[in-house]
Structure 1
Amino acid sequence: MAGSLISALDLRLPAATGKRPARLAQLVVGSLVDAIVARRIAPQSVLPPESALSAAFEVSRITVREAVKLLEAKGLVSVRHGVGAVVNADTEWNLLDADVLAAAMRHDENVTLLDELVGVRVALESDLAAQAALNADATDLAEIEGLYHRLESQLREPEAFIVSDVEFHDRIMAASGNRLARSIVGTVHSQARTSLRYQGHPSVQDVTVTNREHAKILERLLDRDAAGAGTAMADHIRSAWSRRRPTPA
């Protein structure tokens, strides 16, 4: 059993000769995270014992022990006395953990996770836009408007537009005053943006439509229209995702 689980892992660690990374446990974790999230190691399976993992990865048992602790902190395994490290169901995973989220997106063949991520953005960012309409001061509004005009100047440069687009959304969230919600959106969005399936390849036409939607958000913010700002933000995020959403595998 342990042998079949070992074969599911990516054992490509740096060669034993030469300089070895100080944090070998992180490399072991990377392989185990990918194997668990990809379902190469099924839920309720028990990870191979320390001795087997130590030999397979060519690291010390202390390194393996540290790696298992990190997996437990990420919600991927539960260590049971007398049993070992048992792989948890995906309902237990910490998807706000950068390693888990990155692996989950790599193996999100049906785009289910990306759809969920967009749903989180709609729920939180629409509320943050509504709060910004009420809480933003004159400096906040001037900076948001300045970012909108920068975006308008970048319509023929989609790659630059994408960077400024992130700043536009983040500046609105900052103006809301809700630090926790802004942090959650920032965590999931920054990881999602590393995926081409999420980011897509926007054209000049795409970013032109996007900035028209930004104009509606800005107008509602300047009018101090909380409900309107929330609705405009929700409509924009859904519309932008519908334009770039990839066809599931």
Structure 2
Amino acid sequence: MDIAKADFIEGMAKGLAVLESFDTERQRLNATLAAQRAGLTRAAARRHLLTLAHLGYLETDGSYFWLAPKVLRFSGSYLASARLPRVVQPTLNRLAAHTQEPFSVVVLDGDQGVIVARSGATRMLAYGLHLGARLPAHATSTGRVLLAAKTKKEFAQWMKGRELVRLTQHTVTDAKAFRALIEQVRAQDWCAASEEHELGVHALAIPLRNMQGRTVAALNVVASPARLDPATLQRDLLPLMLDAARDLLPLL
């Protein structure tokens, strides 16, 4: 969304940039590290860190800062009030009960997919697949489905100057090969990814569209390699997921 320059609160944007600097790679930051990550001067980063700590969103030992439980108010409010998680939850529970596999719904946020709904625990639970988890779009089935939903111009802009980080020995990092992979996903309208984000994790994803044909999210399942064998995939999991997507169509 574009807004007039006079309506843009730069201080708020900088404060949020500092807050977003914390992730699984860097759980504790000092002013120098926060400044580097948020693109601010050290003095500005320090003031924002101290303010966020004063407001209760960060904790500190005097030198380093880390996220406080209060930040969960944002995600909790979203999950409680947003329509998408509430609409898809019964479907996720039904699919999980039928297959004994875990299902999730993911939306795209920049270069990451964010899990906004998931079924209860089943026999297989991959590391990091919790509500609010942020997963690299280029290395996950859901991310690729959501990238394939972009127009070719939008996808070209997304790829411009981007480094595809290698997360395992199976991750596709060559730009040409990745573009071809997205074209394949766009053509077949589903994506299977095996051990590209995390070893031992095999996943299948399909788009969830609304009545206007716009992809609003991706539905995925994490399964064993045997379940993602092409023949088993097309016989068991993919038809169930496509049926679920059709049922959700008028609700999205």
- TM-score after normalising by structure 1: 0.26
- TM-score after normalising by structure 2: 0.25
* More helix, by proportion: 1
Q: Point out which structure has higher relative CO (alpha carbons under 8 A, 6+ apart).
A: 1
* More strand, by proportion: 2
Larger Rg: 1
